[in-house]
Structure 1
Amino acid sequence: MNRNQELEQVRTWRRDLHQIPELGLDLPLTKEYLLSQLEKLNCTIEHPIEHAVAAFFDGGKEKTIAFRSDMDALPVKENTGCEFASKTEGRMHACGHDGHMSNLLLLAHRINEIYQDLPCNILLIFQPGEENPGGAAPIVQTGIFERYNVAAIFGLHLWPLLPAGQVATISGPMMASATEIDVEIFGKAVHAARHQEGIDALKIGMQFFGYAMALEDTLPANVRRLLQFGKMSAGRVRNVVADYCILQGTMRGFDFETISFLRDGLEEIARELEHQTGATIKITWSEAYPPVHNDEALVKQIVDQLEGIEILDEPVMIAEDFASYQQEVPGVFFFLGTGTGIELHDSRFNFDEEILLQGADLFEQLAHLQF
């Protein structure tokens, strides 16, 4: 395909996929669409976990390099006004995963023509469940990297805050570890006129919030972290002491020590408030994605050998389960600019498919490097 034909093809893929958004790990329509495109090529296809798709181009080399795309959408009501909008009410590809898949499909078609001449075999991984509950770790646990002797892995994410088509990365920490937090406080309800006889879960929730913010402030200003509670619910009626309160928040950081400090500190606050008030406090932690940490040697090699890659000023506070692959083999994650300024997860999220050609260019150049 020439450049114009590639653009028409990648636009078709992206818009087809955009109309069939699916959530989490259960992506039968998306999987079947990808298979319909990959089965035409000279690759071996397998499903490391249900609804994941892996395509292996065997060039007879000792090592393999892998490229990954996520597949899942979000529970968002679309507001783009596009004629190719989601056909499923309340679901939308608002994080660009339709673009990521189309980018990798274009790479697959390019690799299909040249894989025997590349220095490494090529493994393409289409992964469900990036948004929730995390599909990367289960794929790693299947042993797929050992079976194909994967030496390095690469991925990218569309990024609204970069100019259209601009590729960027950073050496070392790039994206945060993220843990979701539910703090449940169980008190004792009594009429407000006898409030001294109750245990006010709402008041204790407010105290917990204040102590939590003070805990975060004890960390030095140069330690990048985030502790934020965005939702709090309590009580049933205005003149009864609340017997239940829940705070829901998120905690993010780039190193184990910071995360452990915040987590241990919140548990200590809970125990102290229990002792002071007689309430019962339960903290539930989601399983955290590790931080995305780009291999320093790989980043140096890539920046030295490829042109046009921008270095980010600092890591970002969002999370990505691509990090689970980097726990297994060296890897580098990239951002690909959309130039729109419309944030990820926004119901208006959209982009010009022409940028996907730059994404495929990047990956094809990486496929020619010796790792």
Structure 2
Amino acid sequence: MKSRLSRRAVLAGAVSTLTVAATVRAPAQGIQERTIRWGHLNNPGHPTSLGVRKVAEVLLAKSGGKLRIREFPASQLGNEMQQQSALRGGTQEMFSASTTSLATVVKDFGLLDFPFIVGSSAQAEALITGPFGKAMLETLPEKDLIGLGYWGLGFRNVTNSRTAITKLEEFAGLKLRVIPNPVYLDTFRALGANPVPMNFGEVYTALETKTIDGQENPYSVILSNKFFEVQKFLSATNHTYTQNIITIGKKFWDQLSADERKLIQDSVNESRDYQREVTLKADTESLGELKAKGMQFNEIAPAEMARIRTATRPVAAKFSADLDQAKVRLFNAELERVQKL
């Protein structure tokens, strides 16, 4: 009896091993050896970098070692516009940066930059994973880009070297670096600041030399780029929620087999929860570290926040008029839904 059971166990184990081996090998039938260059703007260790590495890990395993991602952090492949152009031209494979930079390619992405549209990360997540976020991905192929999904990076907050911002009037005259995007420019003009469009890689030096007074970014970006070394004041303005979009060049995408495309998309999808967790953790921990490193942090009283929001309302009205009205209606309907969460 024991001998018969033993033989059955051995046979079962052998079948199981063969099944696993077949499962691992099967995807590789339509897969070539490829190295995929993925560029982004943030430093190693930032949640974006950790997300890239997780996708690389998952994809390597799924492809049987054939599809490798090589990370190029910290703007090594150029600024936002340069990397987008490289993707569209077929000289770079992947890129992740804020949806803000895509507004120069598809204007309707500017809707996500409207100030104070969401009040929590849960609302932001619901907006981007719902019908509006999906509709925006569908606009990219005609621009020679493929959108694989979004990573939330947290609320943006203002830092500067001159004053704590506790009320609307304290924005007056501040030279603040913003992403080169019309919505951001008009938002900070409405607050009385002097917004300066500037590529991200130039920001630290501009802050250090006092060419600009401040900038605005999520806590994790402020920390990982060591802005605390050249900025004193950090104010919880929470004016927009940054979404990173993962893009791949259409010219490269069209060269891939159906198996390769599926593995890349599946790897991005399976890494989303991990990236979301590290982002939320980094947001909390980054604020604590920024305080520990000497930044003077302040929240803004609800009454003053209401004044600040009111000052920026004309921005949404102005830019909505110049966008695809079907997208604007979908966006507003989705906002109404998620703001109840």
Could you tell me the TM-score, scaled by structure 2's length? 0.29
Structure with the higher helix share, 1 or 2: 2
Could you tell me the TM-score, scaled by structure 1's length? 0.27
